[in-house]
Structure formats: C-alpha cells, structure tokens
C-alpha cells in the first residue's frame, strides 16, 4: 500500500485505511513539510519513502496496531527503519501546538465552556510485571488489566477539552474527585450513573437517577433518564472515533509509559480534524 494508490480510492475507503480523511491528511502533510523546511539541512541521504508515505506508515501503525516487522514487509524496509519513521512523525505532530488538546475553564483557563459531558473509558493493556501494579491495573468489572481515561468534551462543539489517566482499578468518581477542585462551578456537567456522589462537590450537574430493588424508578423517572442519556450520547460517539485507532482499542502492546503520549496524540488528531473539516475523525 502506498499513497499514490490510496489517493485514488474514495474518501470513505481512504479514511477506513488511514483513520483520517483526505482533507486532514493533506493538512498534516503541510504541518510536517513546514516543520522539516524550517529544520532542513544540506546534504545527507534522501529518504526511501516520500513524505506522504511516511505519514501513511505512521497512520497505519496507529490505525491497524500492527508490528514494525509487518509494516517493513509491506514497504520493503527493515523494521528499524519503520520504527524511526513512526517515531519521527510522532514527535513532529506531538510538538506541534495545533495538535495539542486545548485547555478550558475546566482547568481554569480563559476558554468559555458552558456545558461539559464527562465520562471514562478503559483501554486494555498487557499484564504488568510487578504484582503491586497488577493489582492497581486490574479491572474487576472488565476482568482484565486496563488503563482508565477520563474524558471531558464541550457539549456544543464536541471538542475534547480535558483528559486524565489512572490505573484500571480506579473508580470513575474517584477520578472526578482528583480534578474537581479545578472545575469552574458555573459549568454544567452531564454525567452517567458512575459518578454517584458528585453533588457533594459540584452543584451544577445532570445525571440519571439510579434505581434499586427497594426503590424502582417510576415511568416519569425512566423517561427523564432516557432524555439525559440522549444528551450525553455525543461522548460515546467521541470514544468510538478515538478507538478507530486500534493501538488504543485493542490490547496496548507498547511500553506502558508511552500510553498517555499515544492517547494524547490521537486526541490531538481528533481535535485537529474537528477544526480542519468541522467534524471529528
């Protein structure tokens, strides 16, 4: 697979293969080309792959979560060369300010946000070697070792405005309490039932009512819960778009210390796509 063949495909086929649209792909190429032109030096060997194919290698690695060896076979290169290409593109995009998740009033910055939808998602990881870390990372509900990511989006623009990380055993509400002191009190939070007790820390929130055997929900309460769920559904759509990149939707097989960096970069790509073409990945 190379860029000259892939660009002839339909937009849907191109996005299915790379995880981004043609428009976003060209915008990323522009960023990388400008970065390289600012730091270009005379002499040296010419790269085996042109810039478009290098970006394609990077996106294929994130989108398909395949090994360097596999990509090396596809492009007729050694696995080390593929590794350096992925790392080089990753560092360029990671350092580019336009790809970083923006701060908001959620963290005390001046960006105006009135309504925020917040939820947590889990990403499977390899079993940690240390026993203490194994216990912290094990999710009893999912019955596997995971990292947990708390994500907040602007309910209007769908922009991701905050992400924080924890081990898989940490409860959603515990993650909320870790950041609650920085949340602007005027922001309306839209949450799911996993954040029971949030009223003790934030008065302006919307959350479905939880039922029990002794106190079942009335028909009206069920209707209200259904309406609240329909309001918070955009964050589930955001999770689905982020997890198109199998590097975080399947078991994470890289160095555990790289998980936050790679998740951050995918969030950056989502926000960049949102600004570039008016919709996320």
pLDDT digits (tens, 9 = 90+) for 167-194: 988 999 999 998 888 888 888 999 998 8
Q: Under a CB-based contact definition with an 8 Å cutoff, are residues 271 and 162 in contact? A: no
- The reply to whether 211 falls in a domain is yes
Same domain, 125 and 13: no
- Residue 56 tokens read as 């394609």
Q: Please identify every stretch of the chain with a pLDDT value under 70, giving residue numbers as ranges.
A: 40-44, 97-112, 280
- Residue 133 has a pLDDT of 83
Q: Where are the alpha helices (DSSP H) in the chain?
A: 3-6, 11-18, 22-38, 51-64, 68-75, 79-95, 131-137, 172-179, 219-242, 246-249, 259-277
Burial class (CB in 10 A: 0-12, 13-18, 19+), 276: middle
- Residue 152 tokens read as 């907040």
- Residue 35 has a pLDDT of 84
Total of domains in the chain: 2
- The reply to whether 137 falls in a domain is yes
- The reply to whether 42 falls in a domain is no
- Residue 83 has a pLDDT of 93
Same domain, 209 and 125: yes
- Residue 40 tokens read as 């270009």
Range(s) of the domain holding residue 218: 105-242
- Report which DSSP code applies to 197: T
- The reply to whether 180 falls in a domain is yes
- The reply to whether 249 falls in a domain is no
Q: Under a CB-based contact definition with an 8 Å cutoff, are residues 240 and 255 in contact? A: no
Given its phi and psi angles, is residue 76 left (phi above 0), alpha (psi -120 to 50 degrees) or beta?
A: left
Q: Is 0.85 surpassed by the pTM of this model?
A: yes
């Amino acid at each position: 697979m190379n860029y000259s063949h892939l660009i002839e495909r339909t937009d849907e086929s191109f996005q299915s293969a790379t995880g981004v649209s043609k428009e976003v792909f060209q915008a990323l190429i522009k960023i990388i080309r400008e970065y390289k032109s600012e730091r270009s030096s005379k002499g040296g060997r010419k790269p085996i792959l042109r810039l478009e194919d290098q970006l394609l290698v990077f996106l294929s690695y994130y989108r398909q979560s395949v090994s360097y060896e596999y990509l090396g076979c596809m492009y007729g290169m050694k696995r080390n060369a593929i590794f350096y290409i992925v790392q080089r593109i990753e560092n360029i995009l990671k350092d580019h300010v336009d790809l970083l998740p923006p701060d908001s009033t959620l963290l005390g910055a001046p960006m105006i946000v009135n309504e925020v939808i917040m939820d947590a998602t889990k990403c499977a990881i390899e079993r940690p070697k240390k026993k203490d870390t194994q216990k912290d990372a094990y999710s009893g509900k999912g019955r596997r070792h995971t990292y947990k990511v708390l994500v907040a989006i602007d309910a209007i623009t769908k922009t991701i405005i905050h992400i924080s990380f924890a081990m898989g055993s940490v409860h959603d509400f515990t993650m909320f309490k870790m950041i609650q002191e920085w949340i602007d009190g005027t922001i309306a939070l839209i949450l799911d039932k996993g954040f029971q007790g949030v009223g003790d820390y934030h008065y302006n929130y919307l959350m479905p009512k939880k039922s029990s055997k002794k106190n079942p929900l009335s028909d009206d309460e069920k209707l209200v819960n259904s309406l609240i769920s329909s309001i918070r559904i955009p964050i589930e759509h955001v999770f689905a778009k982020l997890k198109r990149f199998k590097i975080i939707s399947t078991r994470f097989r890289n160095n555990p210390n790289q998980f936050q960096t790679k998740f951050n970069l995918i969030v950056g790509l989502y926000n960049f796509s949102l600004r570039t073409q008016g919709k996320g990945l």
